[in-house]
Amino acid sequence: MLNTANDQPTLISLEDVQKWYGAFHALKSISLSVRKGEKIVLCGPSGSGKSTLIRCINALETIEEGKIVVEGQVLDGSTKSIDAIRREVGMVFQSFNLFPHMTVLQNCTLAPMRVRGTSHTDAERLARKYLERVRILDQAEKYPAQLSGGQQQRVAIARALCMEPKVMLFDEPTSALDPEMVKEVLDTMIGLARDGMTMICVTHEMGFARQVADRVIFMASGEIVEEAEPEVFFKSPKHQRTKTFLGEILAHH
């Protein structure tokens, strides 16, 4: 644990959030609050709603009921609230989703220029700073396809950081990577955590969870089943479903 952050203000709060895909109840009464600087690891079996949950936070998915607040901004479905929230929330996807027709540098400068109105010069300076931070500045002029998976994911992290978000959401950032590239991405994320970034990470990398998380949250069937500090979570899980799940993933790793 890097930061218990108990005295920090709440940055994200979800109250009784309900989400349906048609008749399918994907999120059931989710309540969660995340303090500034907190690192949350979200885990659970496939289809349990982990991606859906974090995608609701930056309005990539809409919710049917409940309340989401990010940095005092209530997400009410209006363009204004969505814009305000997306400016504060960065996201990293499993499949990187870099823009393939742009260089690494262009990938990083686009949003600051278009969304924040940053000048080209300033946007490049910003991009170089964050590319340096994810240790990939030497590849700035290359196209995504010329990079390895691990390098692409680090560029994706830099691209999100260029918007200088207050929170970073990670949706299984290492699951599409070859095993030998997982570490470079996790190390980048650990670095980010050390610098005090507020993070919600969907991941099954339990080593990462142990090292970085303030809280581990276990989801199943659209519900938060259990949440605890990593020590407690791994040593003495309360619920049977958590035990079964931990047994399965620890057997795999």
Ligand X SMILES: Nc1ncnc2c1ncn2[C@@H]1O[C@H](COP(=O)(O)OP(=O)(O)OP(=O)(O)O)[C@@H](O)[C@H]1O
What's the CA dihedral at 112, 114, 118, 124 to 10 degrees? 60
Binding Mg ion by CB under 5 A: which of 51, 139, 151, 188?
A: 51
For 206, residues 6+ apart whose C-beta sits below 8 A from its C-beta are: 234, 249, 250, 253
Binding ligand X by CB under 6 A: which of 4, 9, 21, 114?
A: 21
Residue 48 interacts with Mg ion (CB under 5 A): yes or no: no
Amino acid residing at 122:
D
Q: Which stretch binds ligand X (CB under 6 A): 7-15, 32-40, 44-52, 104-112?
A: 44-52
Q: Which stretch binds other proteins (CB under 8 A): 2-10, 79-87, 196-204, 225-233?
A: 79-87
Binding other proteins by CB under 8 A: which of 69, 110, 137, 246?
A: 110
Residue 174 interacts with ligand X (CB under 6 A): yes or no: no
Residue 203 interacts with Mg ion (CB under 5 A): yes or no: no
CA distance 189 to 208: 9
CA distance 192 to 155: 14
Element containing residue 56 per DSSP (H, E): helix 50-57
Q: In what order do the strands lie in the sheet with 215-220?
A: 89-92, 167-171, 198-202, 39-43, 215-220, 223-228
- CB nearer other proteins, residue 43 or residue 160: 160
* Interacting residue ranges for other proteins, rule: CB under 8 A: 58-60, 83, 86-87, 89-91, 93, 95, 97-101, 110-111, 114-115, 156, 159-160, 163
* Interacting residue ranges for Mg ion, rule: CB under 5 A: 51
